[in-house]
Structure 1
Amino acid sequence: MTTVFYLAASAMLAFALALLLVPLVRQGRRDGRSRGVFALAVVVALALPTGSAALYMLVGTPATLGGVEAPKPMSLDQGIEALLAHLKASPDDPEGWMLLGQAYAMGKRPAEARDAYGHVLTLLPDNVAAMVGWAEADSLARDDHRIDGRALDLLERAASLEPANQRALWLLGIAQFQKERYPDAIATWQRLQPLLDPDSNVAHAVAKQIAVAQARVAAGPGNAATGNMGGTR
């Protein structure tokens, strides 16, 4: 009965985790996130409950583990160090570089994130998630937060390869707005609008920026309203 209980419990937990993660995977892909990151999450979600059940059956009931100290969760810095060690041994692992770029971005280290995404693009030149990540990290690493040069080129290519990539369209519109290419920014953000939940804060922000750009067009050259959009927020 104990064995049956653990197997049944682990199966139910795995199923519940899968139900939770599948929508996250789909949303992540729409946002341009790496497929490998979410695939790894699903594998872990499915393997962890079954592995835990097997461990309990091997060493005894959870009560017998009461005196064992639980492992401490890994910090972001520790995770980065682990990734760096892995990439030192396997420098041609694009998923490892992608994870490192995302970790640096989470840690607000945009210059290092840009470098990590650059390694991905060296290995996989058409990786859209890396293109978008590189462009965003580059803008955050700059003092003026502008999206220009290679960043703009990458966003234009990303939006061409994945026309429904929300992050690519948002950032490309910002770049066009910064360059006072207001009609282009309007067109880009209008492509983004149908992809968003119309009641979301993001959709409202996009609609507001379209209105600002339209006002700039109506004002004509030299008569644009004050204010600009210097960052990627």
Structure 2
Amino acid sequence: MTVVFYLVAAAMLAVALALLLVPLVRHGRRQGRSRGIFATAVAIAVLVPLASVGTYLLVGRPATLGGVAPAEDMTVDQGIAALRAQVKAHPDDLPSWLLLGQTFTMLKQPVEARAAYDGALHADARNVVAMVGWAESDSLVRDDHLIEGRSRELLESALAIEPTSQRALWLLGISDFQHQRYAEASATWKKLQPLLDPDSNVARAVAKQIALADERSAKPTSN
């Protein structure tokens, strides 16, 4: 279960970063953000994959970034520092908080990622990306990796807002599975299945987890 969790979660997160950049840049332009932040976002999107090639081969094509040129000679640390400075000066800058959270997630720094998503939730308490990101980061911070308490509440709220959130459905199913609610886990993952490319590795991993949940659900409980 643990191996599958990390593989599928990593795949989803890698794709999520690519999908997140374009709306972040567009939203920032509408809000009058400086071009420096756009350059920082693109630079991080390029540099972070280089730091973890195995995961980042799953990221979408750079062409989707709309031709925005990355900042020259910028390191990941410098990009993060620029984002930190931006959110310190503008605590309501949701796109920068989200990008910071995604960056720390990809760098496998869940404590920092959770803090960034917390900042995003202060900027917009109903932002689905922030809700799901906080829940996932929190599970990685915990020694037992359980998804419960505030994490589960955030996932349920996220799905109430966006019922087709793939990451929320995946993580909520994991929460059910962790707590031996196998029928509920299977039902949740079956909602996720139609949203996935049936030929993808993610879809195959989810199908295996559904089969496992169904198998365990069918077993009689011991008294």
TM over 0.5: yes
**Whole-angstrom distance in 1 between the partners of 2:89 and 2:216:** 52
Is the partner of 2:24 in helix, strand or coil? helix
Q: Is residue 106 from structure 1 mapped to residue 93 from structure 2 by the alignment? A: no
**Structure 2-normalised TM-score?**
0.70
- CA-to-aligned-CA distance 1:77-97 (integer Å, 9 cap, x gap): 211111111222212211111
| Cα distance change, pair 47–96 in 1 and its aligned pair in 2 (3 A) | closer
Q: Is residue 45 from structure 1 mapped to residue 66 from structure 2 by the alignment? A: yes
Is contact 1:110–1:137 with CA below 8 Å preserved after alignment? yes
| Cα distance change, pair 211–43 in 1 and its aligned pair in 2 (3 A) | closer
| Cα distance change, pair 152–37 in 1 and its aligned pair in 2 (3 A) | same
The two structures, once aligned, show a CA RMSD in angstroms of 2.7
**Whole-angstrom distance in 2 between the partners of 1:133 and 1:100:** 11
Which 4+ stretches in 1 moved above 6 angstroms? 41-44
**Whole-angstrom distance in 2 between the partners of 1:78 and 1:146:** 33
The residue aligned with 1:149 is 149
| Cα distance change, pair 34–44 in 1 and its aligned pair in 2 (3 A) | closer
**Whole-angstrom distance in 2 between the partners of 1:183 and 1:201:** 23
- Tell me the CA shift for residue 106 of structure 1: 1.6
- Tell me the CA shift for residue 144 of structure 1: 0.9
| Correspondences of 1:4-23 after superposition (within 5 Å) | none
What residue ranges of structure 1 are gaps of 5+ in the alignment?
1-26, 49-69, 224-233
**Whole-angstrom distance in 1 between the partners of 2:133 and 2:68:** 29
Q: Is residue 170 from structure 1 mapped to residue 170 from structure 2 by the alignment? A: yes
| Cα distance change, pair 204–71 in 1 and its aligned pair in 2 (3 A) | closer
The residue aligned with 2:128 is 128
- CA-to-aligned-CA distance 1:138-182 (integer Å, 9 cap, x gap): 011111111111001111111121111111111110011111111
- CA-to-aligned-CA distance 1:33-61 (integer Å, 9 cap, x gap): 4763253568963465xxxxxxxxxxxxx
Code of the residue aligned with 1:136 in structure 2: it is E
Is contact 1:196–1:202 with CA below 8 Å preserved after alignment? yes
Is contact 2:22–2:65 with CA below 8 Å preserved after alignment? no
| Cα distance change, pair 210–87 in 1 and its aligned pair in 2 (3 A) | same
**Structure 1-normalised TM-score?**
0.68
What residue ranges of structure 2 are gaps of 5+ in the alignment?
1-14, 27-37, 43-62
**Whole-angstrom distance in 2 between the partners of 1:127 and 1:155:** 11
Is the partner of 2:81 in helix, strand or coil? helix
